[in-house]
Amino acid sequence: MIPNGPGDAIQASAQPCYIASGDPPVADACTAAQHTQPDFDGTQSLYNSGFLADGEQFKVKLSANIKPGTYSFFCTLHRAGMTGKITVAAADAKADTPDEVVARGQGELKSLVATLKPAYEDLTKGLFKPFISESKPGSVLAGSGVKDAAATIAAFGPDPVEAKVGDTITWTVVGPHTITFGANEALRTVIAKAPDGGVHLNPASFAPVGGAGQPPPPPAPSTTAGAAAADTTPAAAPTTAAGPPPPPIVIDGGSFDGAGLHSSGFILSTPDQLFSYKVKFIKAGSYPYICLIHPNMKGTVNVA
């Protein structure tokens, strides 16, 4: 749905699209006729809801002609990190009831929360083991997670954080986040649907303001066949085979006096190579901040 690096949403992915056979369009949206949802028979080459905002639903009716089997699906926004399967049973075989599906989902959610709870408790202390195993004044985590878990933690910690005029606060970023002070409602809409049905990114939400943003990834090494295409995914750095993990790459966000907008812009940071973002606070006050990507991810810096 969203290309690696700068660019708008890919409309064939971001808008509803149903194609009986062949490849979807690369540059354009599907035609209006291809937005009409048929019953899913398992043979369509593309059967896509398009972007779903919070609270929206997508219902799929299985065709009477669908063959028993397992049908995989995924989210084109979160890609391989968000996948699922529907198993269609024969007409005379047992199938899950809706209540059984809900119960199993609630059980999986409870188990996932239990898996993430220790990492969340560490986050409240500013810890992300083994990368950050000691709490330090002025250090905050922006996000956290557990290896191989099917979800991440969208929270700042510790929160609130206390500082004095002239102090520097440093956020270590885990995942895709922004650290944004003074945001208005327009910036909080990162992905929006236009009146014509198009889905578009808000470039202002991803741009740094008041300081540097995340640097571009280094070019890929050349090969005997010529220079390889650069990896446009941020944080493209190798994981060390032995020894301690590499320190975060520090992004200097400059200074903040509490006035107007100040934002890290979009930062994608993974354990392969973490990034941190630092800001020097030069005026006393209480400054709330948010992640523009995750609306409920909020924090406060109190400067005395």
Percent of the chain with pLDDT over 70: 90
- Domain region containing 54: 11-95
Widest distance between CA atoms in the chain: 72
* 140 and 241, same domain (yes or no): yes
Cα–Cα distance for residue pair 171/1, rounded to 1 Å: 28
* 175 and 250, same domain (yes or no): yes
* 123 and 245, same domain (yes or no): yes
Report, as an integer, the average pLDDT of 115-127: 96
Over residues 56-107, the pLDDT tens digits come to: 999 999 999 999 999 999 999 988 888 999 999 998 999 999 999 999 999 9
Q: Is residue 134 part of a domain?
A: yes
Cα–Cα distance for residue pair 258/181, rounded to 1 Å: 8
Task: Return the CATH number at 224.
Answer: 2.60.40.420
* 131 and 54, same domain (yes or no): no
**How confident is the model at residue 219, as a pLDDT?**
60
Q: Is residue 140 part of a domain?
A: yes
With 0-12 / 13-18 / 19 or more C-beta atoms within 10 angstroms meaning exposed / middle / buried, residue 79 is: exposed
Cα–Cα distance for residue pair 63/14, rounded to 1 Å: 24
* 90 and 153, same domain (yes or no): no
The pLDDT mean for the chain works out to 88
* 161 and 282, same domain (yes or no): yes
* 89 and 213, same domain (yes or no): no
Report the first-to-last Cα separation within the chain, whole angstroms.
Answer: 44
What letter represents residue 189's amino acid?
T
pLDDT band at 243 (very low <50, low <70, confident <90, very high): low
Q: Catalogue the E-assigned strands of the chain.
A: 17-19, 46-48, 69-75, 79-88, 139-145, 152-157, 161-163, 168-173, 175-177, 180-181, 191-193, 199-201, 222-223, 226-227, 249-256, 262-263, 267-269, 275-281, 285-290, 298-303
Between CA 10 and CA 280, with CA 235 as vertex, the angle to 5 degrees is 110
Over residues 149-189, the pLDDT tens digits come to: 888 999 999 999 999 999 999 999 999 999 999 999 889 88
Question: Burial code of 216-249, b = ≥16 C-beta within 10 A, e = fewer?
Answer: ebeeeeeeeeeeeeeeeebbbbeeeeeeeeeebe
Q: Is residue 50 part of a domain?
A: yes
Report whether 165 contacts 281 (CB < 8 A): yes
* 90 and 178, same domain (yes or no): no
Residue 254 φ/ψ region, left for φ over 0, alpha for ψ in the -120 to 50 degree band, beta for the rest = left
**How confident is the model at residue 86, as a pLDDT?**
94
Greater pLDDT, 81 or 215: 215
Which of 38, 60, 95 is at the close of a domain? Answer: 95
* 26 and 151, same domain (yes or no): no
Cα–Cα distance for residue pair 209/10, rounded to 1 Å: 26
Which of 44, 62, 95 is at the close of a domain? Answer: 95
Q: Which residue has the tokens 């523009």?
A: 292
Over residues 124-136, the pLDDT tens digits come to: 999 999 899 999 9
**How confident is the model at residue 225, as a pLDDT?**
36
* 80 and 149, same domain (yes or no): no
Percent of the chain with pLDDT over 90: 68
Q: Is residue 195 part of a domain?
A: yes
Of residues 154, 256, 270, 156, the one with CA closest to residue 209:
256
Indicate the number of domains in the chain.
2
Which of 95, 125, 148 is at the close of a domain? Answer: 95
pLDDT band at 231 (very low <50, low <70, confident <90, very high): very low
* 154 and 56, same domain (yes or no): no
Indicate whether 215 pLDDT > 70: yes
Most confident of 4-18, 37-51, 140-154, 155-169: 155-169
Q: Across the beta sheet with 139-145, what order do the strands follow?
A: 152-157, 139-145, 168-173, 275-281, 249-256
Q: Is residue 110 part of a domain?
A: no
**How confident is the model at residue 235, as a pLDDT?**
35
Q: Is residue 112 part of a domain?
A: no
Kindly report the pTM of this predicted structure.
0.83
Indicate whether 241 pLDDT > 90: no
Q: Which residue has the tokens 């002070």?
A: 181
Q: Is residue 104 part of a domain?
A: no
**How confident is the model at residue 197, as a pLDDT?**
87
Q: Is residue 105 part of a domain?
A: no
* 90 and 179, same domain (yes or no): no
Cα–Cα distance for residue pair 268/232, rounded to 1 Å: 12
